[in-house]
Amino acid sequence: MSERKRVVIADDDDDIRGLMTIAANRAGVEIVAAVDNGSAALAAVQAGGIDLAVLDISMPGLNGVEVAEAIRADDGTRSTLILMVSASVQLLTDHGVVADRSDSFIVKPFSPRVLSTRIREMLELGEPA
Amino acid sequence: MTLDRWLSRLPLDSPSAFMKQVPTIVGFAIAALIAALPNGVPITNAPLFLAGIALVVVATVFSLIIPWRHLHPEWAVVIPVLSLLAVGLLRLGTGSSASPFVVLTLLPFVWIASEAGRINILIASLTTFVVLLAPLVVDGATRSAGDVVRAFFSPVIYLIVAIVINEIAHRMRVQLAAAREAGDRQETLLAQAVQAQDELVLNEARLKTANRLIQSIWNAVTEQSVIGTDLDGLIDVWNPGAEKMLGLTEKQVLDGKYHIIDFHLSSELAERLQDMDARFTTVSSTDDFSALVDTVRAGSADVRDWTYVRPDGKRVVVQVAATPRIDENGHRVGFIFVATDMTEAREFARLKDEFVGLISHELRTPLSSILGYLELLRDDDEDPLSEEQLQYLAVAERNAHRLLRLVGDLLFTAQVESGRFPLDIKDVELNTVVAASVESARPVAANAGVTLVAEVPDHTVDVRGDTLRLGQAVDNLVSNALKFTPSGGTVTVALRHEGDEAVIAVRDTGIGIPAVELSQLSQRFFRASTATRNAVPGVGLGLTITKAIVTAHGGRLDIASEEGVGTSISIVLPVETPRPVTEAIPHVEVAP
């Protein structure tokens, strides 16, 4: 059995973070960290070996865009995929957030089923057993 | 009283019949006096002499008592004719041919000859002929050859003199008439000049009042800068608002020969020139000043955001309305730039955007949790819900989605209110938009028992616009029509070309809207009385949003309704937009 993909989840809302965690678990990935701020998320990614970071944009401290910029700027983490999440379409489309700093995005409110499917697609995982 | 003043009182320039008779009376008085003297002219025939005196007295009385001016004035010639005959009698009474009083003939003769009309030449000559010839008739036996010759020769001379006098008098009358006419004309001109002067004074007063008003207004405009330039952009008008906004006095600007572009950001001007070039507008030249006035030169007013730069380096975000400056002959002689400081407005818009963003996040986040966890409940394969529980769940989900739509509508309305909502302008095939809206509404229509009909032409109807927003507008209309149409009714969505416009008409056979409420339909949160009466759900934002979208595309909403019969709402869009939509509709952003 191949090693499970490693994922970091960041959202300052406990309930949403819980929902993301459930969706990620259903996608069959290993959740390395589920944190409520950008700094912790960046630290978790920079610790290495992370395949995907699911980042909310609006977070205290470093926001999702700043975390994504730091991940992209670091050679050690540049290959980590980024899935951006926001309640605001405008925040996602403004300033080239989606185009320049992330690999995919999803708008709140999201369906856990859709998030799970998106994570599997991004990590090129097959259908869950 | 001096003689001169006494004479000046005599109406010599327009003498009455009596005044003309006075010389004859005086002549007769002198003749009578001479005849009465012991060694004077002897009276040879007293009856004729007295008859002559009596006749001239009668003529004089006529001249006094008959109002000749009010009768036919030409008949006054009767008086000198009578006087002339009186002279004839006087002559016959004082020696006939030898009488020295024949000289009196001249006085009435000149009067008659000088009267207007050639007939008076004849009258004067014939009467004189009678007077001069009378002695020959009366004293027939005593006439000498010389008397006969004189009697016939003198009338001829009198005739010639009469012609000359009549002609001179005629010419003098013509000259007098011309002089009088000139006088009258001069009087009229003088009156006109006086009137013109009065009007001039009045206009001057009005002008002063208008100038004071303009000056007051000019001084009162302190929150907007008004800058006037010549055709090359050299500033020659600078109001107090410009002083306040840009920190230079009028004298400093006019003495310093400032150009309007001295107060602009050169990077903005360059960017505008590039934009003009890219869009193939009527770029007449490529200097920086053209960036400001090219649209005005092409004949339109131009309202645009710019940044003014003060001499101290401070920047002021302004909205500038540029218009042509026209002289009294209608020629363009320069430009006027009226600028409003938009710093506060921009800050307000930024705060509003921040607020919208915050609300967007804060409202959507709990909804995300609600909907997400509801879905988890539904998808729980290990512990599936009962049928009844699933129904409860469906109600909760439906209402959560309803709340989500409401949040979306409120946010969109807030964006519209702030004048900032993004449009992704592309070529849009309306046939697809209409078909998609109708198809997505079919399940709702079927549940409501309403027949949904799409009338889409075979040929494509294309416009420039934002596909998603136009779809949202059509969705809103169709959704409304279905909500307001009772079971058994019909909703028709028709797409067609009408001239240069594309029309999407959504007609229903629903409850209709009272005529008095039609004008309020697109106001935020307005709900028709028929909607509240029939408990049709909604908050009154759908049409507001639809109208905002359509307006942002340069189109309009046409609404017609009859209570109890149905409603027809049409989206009318321009097929060809000669300019980008953002140019036609202020405050709308186009996504890059």
Pairing label, strands A52-56, A6-10: parallel
The minimal CB distance from B372 to the residues A58, A86, A112 is found for A112
Asked if the bond preceding A109 is cis, omega within 30° of 0, the reply is yes
- Cβ <8 Å between B375 and A108: no
In 3D space, the residue among B216, B318, B326, B219 whose CA is nearest the CA of residue B260 turns out to be B318
Contacts of A129 (CB under 8 A, 6+ apart): A28
Q: Is the pLDDT of residue A92 over 80?
A: no
Assess whether pLDDT exceeds 80 at residue B418: no
Mean pLDDT of B539-543: 70
Average the pLDDT over A79-98 and give the result: 74
Instruction: Give the range among A92-106, B110-124, B573-587 with minimum mean pLDDT.
Output: B573-587
Q: For all residues of chain B together, what is the average pLDDT? A: 84
- CA of B363 vs chain A CAs: smallest distance (Å): 9
Contact state of A108 with B373 under an 8 Å Cβ cutoff:
no
pLDDT of residue B188: 94
Q: Is residue B526 very low, low, confident or very high in pLDDT (cuts 50, 70, 90)?
A: low
For position B529, what pLDDT does the model report?
65
pLDDT of residue B583: 37
Which residues on chain A are in Cβ contact (under 8 Å) with B369?
13, 15-16, 19
Q: What is the pLDDT of residue A21?
A: 95
**Quick one: what percent of chain A has pLDDT higher than 90?**
60
Name A106's bridge partners. Answer: A85
Question: In this model, does residue B437 exceed pLDDT 50?
Answer: yes
CA dist., res. B19 & res. B12, Å (int): 8
Rounded to an integer, the average pLDDT of B583-587 is 37
Taking only the tens place, the pLDDT of each residue in B209-258 is: 999 998 888 888 888 999 999 999 999 999 999 999 999 999 999 998 89
Q: Do B361 and A88 touch (CB under 8 A)?
A: yes
Instruction: State how far the Cα of B468 lies from the Cα of B437, in Å rounded to an integer.
Output: 11
Residue A2 per-residue DSSP state: P
CB B105 within 8 A of CB B23: no
Provide the number of CB pairs (under 8 Å) joining chain A to chain B. 55
Q: How far apart are CA B202 and CA B106, in angstroms?
A: 61
In the predicted model, is pLDDT for residue A129 greater than 60? no
Q: What is the pLDDT of residue B71?
A: 78
Mean pLDDT of B99-111: 89
Predicted ipTM > 0.90: no
What confidence score (pLDDT) does residue B516 get? 67
Chain A residues with beta carbon closer than 8 angstroms to that of B591 = 93
The 10s digit of each residue's pLDDT in A14-62 is 999 999 999 999 999 999 999 999 999 999 999 989 999 999 988 888 8
CA-CA distance, A110 to B86, in Å (whole number)? 140
Residue B137: phi and psi, rounded to 5, are -75, -45
What value, to the nearest 5°, has the Cα angle with vertex B290 and ends B268 and B321? 75
What separation in angstroms does the CA of B164 have from each of B78, B151, B160, B167, B354?
A: 21, 21, 6, 5, 112
Through-space distance between the first and last CA atoms of chain B, rounded to whole angstroms: 107
Q: Tell me how far CA of residue B284 lies from CA of B277, B330, B583, in angstroms.
A: 10, 21, 19
User: Which of the two residues, B59 and A98, has the higher pLDDT score?
Assistant: B59
pLDDT band for B81, please (50, 70, 90 cuts).
very high
Q: Where are the alpha helices (DSSP H) in B418-453?
A: 430-448
> DSSP 3-state assignment of B111?
helix
State the Rg of chain A over Cα. 13
Pick from A17-31, B341-355, B574-588: least confident: B574-588
Residues of A at the B interface, defined by Cβ within 8 angstroms: 13, 15-16, 19, 22, 58, 86-88, 90-91, 93, 108-113
Q: Which residues are CB-neighbours of B31 under 8 A, at least 6 positions away? A: B41, B90, B94, B101, B104
- pLDDT score for B277: 67
CB contact under 8 A, A15 and B376: no
Q: Do A16 and B360 touch (CB under 8 A)?
A: no
For residue B373, the chain A residue with the least C-alpha distance is A19
3-state secondary structure of B472: helix
Enumerate residues 6+ apart whose C-beta is below 8 A from B420.
Answer: B349, B353, B587, B588, B589
Backbone φ and ψ of B448, nearest 5°: -85, -5
Both structure tokens of B208: 């002063």
Chain B residues with beta carbon closer than 8 angstroms to that of A111: 371-372, 375
Res. B347 pLDDT band, cuts 50 70 90? confident
Q: Which residue has the higher pLDDT, B536 or B406?
A: B406
Q: For residue range B109-156, list pLDDT tens digits in order.
A: 999 998 888 899 999 989 988 888 888 777 765 667 777 777 778 888
Closest CB to B372 among A87, A91, A109: A109
% chain B with pLDDT above 70: 86
Q: Which residues of B, range 377-436, sit inside 8 Å of A by Cβ?
A: 379, 404, 422
Instruction: Note if the bond before B135 is cis, omega within 30 degrees.
Output: no
Q: Which of B355, B356, B361, B371 to mutate to test the interface with A (most CBs of A within 10 A)?
A: B361
Residues 6+ away with beta carbon under 8 Å from B281: B294, B295, B298
Which of A90, A106, A113, A115 to probe the B interface (max B CBs under 10 A)? A90
Query: Tell me: the pLDDT tens digits for B249-282?
Result: 999 999 988 999 999 998 898 888 877 765 544 4
Of B243, B240, B238, B241, residue with least CA distance to B257 = B238
> What average pLDDT score do residues B319-340 get?
90
B196 residue type, one letter: A
B358-386: per-residue pLDDT in tens?
A: 776 678 888 889 999 999 998 888 888 89
Residues 6+ apart with CB under 8 A from B542: B409, B476, B477, B479, B480
pTM of the model: 0.46
